[in-house]
A and B are shown apart, each in its own frame.
Chain A
Amino acid sequence: MKSTKTLVALAATAAVLTLAACGDNGASAGGSDGGSGGDGEEVDLTFATFSPDQEPAIRQILDVFEEQNPGVSVEIQIIPWTDYWSTLQTSTAGGTGPDVAWMLGAKIGQYIDGGVLLPLDDAFAESGLDIDKYPEQLVDLFVDDGTTYALPKDFDTIGLWYNKALFDEAGVAYPTPDWTWDDVITNAQALTKPDGSVYGIGAPMDPQATYYNTIYQAGGEVISEDGTTSGYDSPEAIEGIRFWTDLINVHHVSPTLESFADTESVAQFMSGRLAMLTTGSFYAIRFANDEYSSQNFDVTELPGGAQEATIINGIGNVALASTEHPEEAARLAVFLSGEEASRISSETGTVIGSYEGTEQAFIDAFPQFNLQAFLDQAENGVVLPVSRNTDAWASREGEFLTSAWTGEQSVEEAAANLADAMNEALAQENQD
C-alpha cells in the first residue's frame, strides 16, 4: 500500500516535469504593460531580438527613434537564439508578447496564418521610405497577399572566405571571383597537409552556408516555386550536395562531419585548420574582432557552377497585433528597418544595411576584408528557401543527409529519402 503510493508519487512527479514543458502557456516574455496609455501620453514599447552582438547598434537606433517620437520609450529584450522562437510563439499566442520583434522569412508564415501580426502598409506610407530601395526578393519574403508585415532591416550573402597565411605557406594563388568548383578542388588538394593539421576547405552540413548555394548553382532547387514539392530528388540538387560530400569522402580535402560536430567549422577556420570556408557576411564582425582572423582572412565571391548563385537572407521587424499601442509599434517596426537604422547598422559593421545607399558604410567598416564581394553577388542572390511551415521539413534535412555526409549512403539515396519526408511534410502543410 505504502509502496504503491510512493511509487505513484515519485513517478508522477518526475514525469510531470516533462509534461509541464508541453503546455501551450510557456514562459511569458515580459510584455506591453503600456504605462498610462492614451495618445500623447507616455508609451512604453518592448522590442525582442536574439542577437546580443547587435545590441549596441540597436540601442543607437532606438535612441534616434525616441528622440523623434517624444513620450515613447523602447526597451530591448534579448532572448537567446535557442529560446527565441518558442518564447516568441508562446508569448504571442498568450497575448503577453513583445510589441515589436525580429522575424525571419522561414518563420513568418505561421505568424501571418495565425493573424498575430500588424500590417505595416500605413506606417510605411507615412514614413516616406521607398520600397524600391530594398532588395526585392527579401521584401517578398515578408509580403503576403499584397500586405506588408515586415521590411528587411539587413541582408547577408555567402562568400568564399580564405586564410591568406595558409595560401602563402603552400604557395597557392588566392582565389578570384572567376574560380569554378573544380578550381576549389584542385587548390584545396594543394593546400591540404598530409598530417591532417591543415585542410583545404571546410565542408560542414550547413544549408545556408554550403549546399543550398551549390544546389541553386547546379540549376536545382530546394523547394518548388509554388512551395508544394521538394526539389531534393532532382539530378541538379544531388549534384549540388555531392560536391560537398566528395570533398570529404573522395578528395579528402575537408575534415569529416564528425570533426565538425566536435569543433564547429568557423572555430576550425579561425584556428588556422581550414584554408577556405564558405560562409556569410555576418561573420565579418567576428573575424574583425579576432586578431589572427583580422590579419589573415579575406573574402571573395563564391565560385560558380552551371550558373552563379548565392543564398541571400535578411531579418525583418514585425509589430505584433497584441500590442496596446498599435500605431507606435508599427511606426517603430518600420523605423527599425528604415534608412537611418540601415545606415547605423552598416557604419558599425554590424550587418549590411538593406536600404540602398547605406551598404558602402559596411564595406568601409572593415577595410581589411574585401566585403564588396558580398554586395557584388547580391544580384545573383537566391532567397533562403521557405514555405508556410519551414521548420517541419528543414529540421529533416540534417537527419537524412547525415548518411550522405558520412559516406554510409549514396547522395542519391539520402536525397530521395529526404525528398519523400519533405513532400510528406509539405502535403500536411498544404492540407491544413
Chain B
Amino acid sequence: MPTTDTTGAPAAAPPAGNGPAGGPPRRNRPNRHPDNAWAALLLAVPFGGLVIFYLWPLLRTVLLSFSEGTAFTGYTISGFQNWQRLFENGDDVWRALVNTLVYAAIVLLGVPIAMVIAALLHQRGLRGRSFYRTLYFVPVVTMPVAVAMVWRYIYNGDFGLLNEVLDAVGGPTRAWVADPDTALYAVAVVGIWMALGTNLIILAAGLEAVPQTLEEAAMLDGAGPVRRFFSVTVPLLTPSIFLVSVLSVIGSLQMFDLLFIMLGRTNPALADSKTIVYLFYEEAFVRNDRPLGAVIALVTLVVTLAVTAVQFRLQRRWVTYA
C-alpha cells in the first residue's frame, strides 16, 4: 500500500472521529520484524469482514441490477432493461429522491439544536450534568419501532396528544402523519429528536477539547457568554460539527423505519412522503422485483456519495482545524 497520505492536518488532529489520522509516527523498521506478521493477521480479520459483508454484496447487487429472474428460478444477466425501467418510473424515483433530500435537510437542523444544548450542558458548575446527558441519550438507545409507535399516538388526528394540546391553546389541529402536507415534516421532527443524543455526545466531546484558556482570554476581553459561544466555541467546534453533519445526512438518506411504522401501507400521505429506501423496499420486497430494487439501491449509493462529496468540498470554506 502506498504511504503518501500523510499530507493531512499536522499536530492537533480533529478532536473527534476521522480515525487514525493523527496516529503514531511511522516506524522505519525492516520488514522481517515479527510485528508485521501480527499486523497482517490482525488486519486480515476486519479486511476479510469488509470483503465478505460489504464488497461481495456490493458486487452481487451490481450484477443483480443487470439481471432478470426470480428468487426461485435464479437470476441471469440480461442487460440494461432494469435501468431502463428506472427511467420509465422516473416520476416516482424523482419524487422519492426529493422527499429524501428534504428530510435530510430538515434533520440537519438538529445539529444547531444539539450545539446549543451541548453548550448549555458544558457550562461550568452545572449540577446533574450526567443526568441530563443520559436523558438526551435515551432516544438513541430506544428501538426505532418503539419510538415510532409512541410518536404515532402523539400525532394521531382523532385522539392524539399533540392535537389535545393544540386544541387547548386554540392552535390548528390535523391528522399530522396522514396529511400529505405535514407527514414528511412530522416524521422529520422525530428524526431530529432521535438523532439528538448522538449529536450531543460528539459535540460534547468536541467542547471538552476547546482550551479553557481561550474562553478565559475572551472573557477578559469583555466578551459575554453569547459572544464567546459564537466567536470562540463555534469556530473551534467546526470539525465536530462537520462530522455530525456528515453522519446526520448519511443517516437521513437511509430513512425507512420511521416512515414504515408511523405511516403504514394505506396512508393517504404515503405517496408524497416516500423516501428512496422506502421505494427500494416496495420494489424489492413487496413486489418481489429484486433487480429493480438493486438498481434503486445503487442509485442510493451514488446519491449518498455525491451528497457527501459536496459536503467535503464545502467544508474547506467553514471548518477550521486549530
1/0 per residue, CB under 8 A from B, across A396-412: the answer is 00110010011000000
In the complex formed, the residue of A with least CB distance to B301 is A15
Contacts A19-B57, A93-B71: A391 and B297 contacting too (C-beta < 8 A)?
no
What is the CA–CA distance of A259 and B179 in the complex, to the nearest angstrom? 10
Which residues of A from 94 to 135 have beta carbons under 8 Å from B? 110-111, 113-116
**Residue A173 at the chain B interface, CB threshold 8 Å:** no
Q: Report A-chain residues with C-beta under 8 Å of the C-beta of B289.
A: 392
In the complex formed, the residue of A with least CB distance to B67 is A24
Q: How far is the CB of B205 from chain A (nearest CB, A)?
A: 18
**Residue B258 at the chain A interface, CB threshold 8 Å:** no
Which residues of B from 175 to 219 have beta carbons under 8 Å from A? 175, 177-179
What is the CA–CA distance of A2 and B160 in the complex, to the nearest angstrom? 49
**Residue B156 at the chain A interface, CB threshold 8 Å:** yes
**Residue B280 at the chain A interface, CB threshold 8 Å:** yes
Q: How far is the CB of A241 from chain B (nearest CB, A)?
A: 14
What is the CA–CA distance of A24 and B60 in the complex, to the nearest angstrom? 9
Contacts A5-B5, A6-B19, A398-B265: A391 and B288 contacting too (C-beta < 8 A)?
yes
Does the CB pair A3–B178 fall under 8 Å? no
Q: Report B-chain residues with C-beta under 8 Å of the C-beta of A3.
A: 312, 315
**Residue A204 at the chain B interface, CB threshold 8 Å:** yes
Does the CB pair A204–B75 fall under 8 Å? no
Q: Report A-chain residues with C-beta under 8 Å of the C-beta of B4.
A: 1
What is the CA–CA distance of A395 and B309 in the complex, to the nearest angstrom? 36
**Cβ-defined partner of B250 (8 Å) among A8, A10, A93:** A10
**Residue B298 at the chain A interface, CB threshold 8 Å:** yes
Q: Report A-chain residues with C-beta under 8 Å of the C-beta of B253.
A: 14
Q: Residue among A4, A13, A21, A116 with the most chain B CB within 10 A? A: A21
Does the CB pair B254–A258 fall under 8 Å? no
Does the CB pair A1–B7 fall under 8 Å? yes
Q: How far is the CB of A261 from chain B (nearest CB, A)?
A: 4
Which residues of B from 285 to 308 have beta carbons under 8 Å from A? 285-290, 293-294, 297-298, 300-301, 304-305, 308
**Cβ-defined partner of B54 (8 Å) among A13, A86, A116, A263:** A13
What is the CA–CA distance of A23 and B55 in the complex, to the nearest angstrom? 12
**Residue B90 at the chain A interface, CB threshold 8 Å:** no
Q: Report A-chain residues with C-beta under 8 Å of the C-beta of B247.
A: 10
Does the CB pair A19–B264 fall under 8 Å? no
**Residue A78 at the chain B interface, CB threshold 8 Å:** no
**Residue B167 at the chain A interface, CB threshold 8 Å:** no
In the complex formed, the residue of B with least CB distance to A205 is B266
What is the CA–CA distance of A398 and B265 in the complex, to the nearest angstrom? 8
**Cβ-defined partner of A24 (8 Å) among B8, B71, B160:** B71
Q: How far is the CB of B62 from chain A (nearest CB, A)?
A: 9
Contacts A7-B312, A257-B178, A406-B268: A15 and B57 contacting too (C-beta < 8 A)?
no
What is the CA–CA distance of A17 and B53 in the complex, to the nearest angstrom? 9
- Count: A-B pairs, CB below 8 Å: 169
Contacts A11-B305, A261-B264: A1 and B8 contacting too (C-beta < 8 A)?
yes
Does the CB pair A22–B251 fall under 8 Å? no
Does the CB pair B72–A114 fall under 8 Å? yes
| Tally of A interface residues using CB under 8 Å | 55
Does the CB pair B54–A12 fall under 8 Å? yes
Which residues of B from 251 to 270 have beta carbons under 8 Å from A? 251, 253-254, 263-270
**Residue B155 at the chain A interface, CB threshold 8 Å:** yes
In the complex formed, the residue of B with least CB distance to A406 is B268
1/0 per residue, CB under 8 A from B, across A21-40: the answer is 11110000000000000000
1/0 per residue, CB under 8 A from A, across B36-57: the answer is 0000000000000000011001
1/0 per residue, CB under 8 A from A, across B98-135: the answer is 00000000000000000000000000000000000000
What is the CA–CA distance of A141 and B8 in the complex, to the nearest angstrom? 66
Does the CB pair B157–A262 fall under 8 Å? yes
Q: Report A-chain residues with C-beta under 8 Å of the C-beta of B246.
A: 10
Q: Report B-chain residues with C-beta under 8 Å of the C-beta of A259.
A: 157-158, 175, 178
Contacts A92-B72, A391-B286: A261 and B267 contacting too (C-beta < 8 A)?
yes
Does the CB pair A392–B287 fall under 8 Å? yes
1/0 per residue, CB under 8 A from A, across B7-28: the answer is 1100000000011010000000
**Residue A255 at the chain B interface, CB threshold 8 Å:** yes
**Residue A372 at the chain B interface, CB threshold 8 Å:** no
Q: Report A-chain residues with C-beta under 8 Å of the C-beta of B265.
A: 398
Q: Residue among B178, B246, B290, B294 with the most chain A CB within 10 A? A: B178
**Cβ-defined partner of B58 (8 Å) among A19, A24, A257:** A19
**Residue B149 at the chain A interface, CB threshold 8 Å:** no
Contacts A258-B178, A261-B263: A19 and B297 contacting too (C-beta < 8 A)?
yes
Does the CB pair A262–B287 fall under 8 Å? no
Does the CB pair A18–B64 fall under 8 Å? no
Q: How far is the CB of B33 from chain A (nearest CB, A)?
A: 26
Q: Report B-chain residues with C-beta under 8 Å of the C-beta of A89.
A: 71-72, 288
1/0 per residue, CB under 8 A from B, across A283-321: the answer is 000000000000000000000000000000000000000
Q: How far is the CB of B134 from chain A (nearest CB, A)?
A: 27
Q: How far is the CB of B8 from chain A (nearest CB, A)?
A: 4
Contacts A7-B309, A14-B251: A23 and B60 contacting too (C-beta < 8 A)?
yes
Does the CB pair B301–A18 fall under 8 Å? yes
**Cβ-defined partner of A258 (8 Å) among B159, B268, B297, B298:** B268
Which residues of A from 241 to 278 have beta carbons under 8 Å from B? 255-263
What is the CA–CA distance of A115 and B4 in the complex, to the nearest angstrom? 56
Q: Report A-chain residues with C-beta under 8 Å of the C-beta of B8.
A: 1-2
**Residue A389 at the chain B interface, CB threshold 8 Å:** yes
What is the CA–CA distance of A395 and B289 in the complex, to the nearest angstrom? 12
In the complex formed, the residue of A with least CB distance to B282 is A395
What is the CA–CA distance of A111 and B71 in the complex, to the nearest angstrom? 10
Q: Report B-chain residues with C-beta under 8 Å of the C-beta of A18.
A: 254, 277, 280, 297, 300-301
Does the CB pair B312–A20 fall under 8 Å? no
Does the CB pair A389–B288 fall under 8 Å? yes
12 A-B pairs whose Cβ atoms sit less than 8 Å apart in the complex: A2-B18, A6-B19, A19-B294, A23-B57, A24-B75, A113-B70, A113-B73, A259-B157, A262-B157, A262-B178, A402-B270, A402-B271
Apart from A19-B57, A19-B294, list 19 A-B contacts with CB within 8 A: A10-B308, A12-B54, A13-B54, A18-B280, A18-B301, A21-B284, A22-B61, A22-B284, A22-B294, A23-B61, A24-B71, A93-B71, A113-B72, A114-B73, A261-B175, A261-B264, A391-B286, A395-B287, A402-B266
Task: Please list the 10 inter-chain residue pairs (A to B) with the smallest Cβ-Cβ separation, ordered nearest first.
Answer: A114-B72, A258-B178, A15-B301, A261-B178, A2-B8, A261-B267, A258-B175, A93-B71, A14-B250, A11-B308
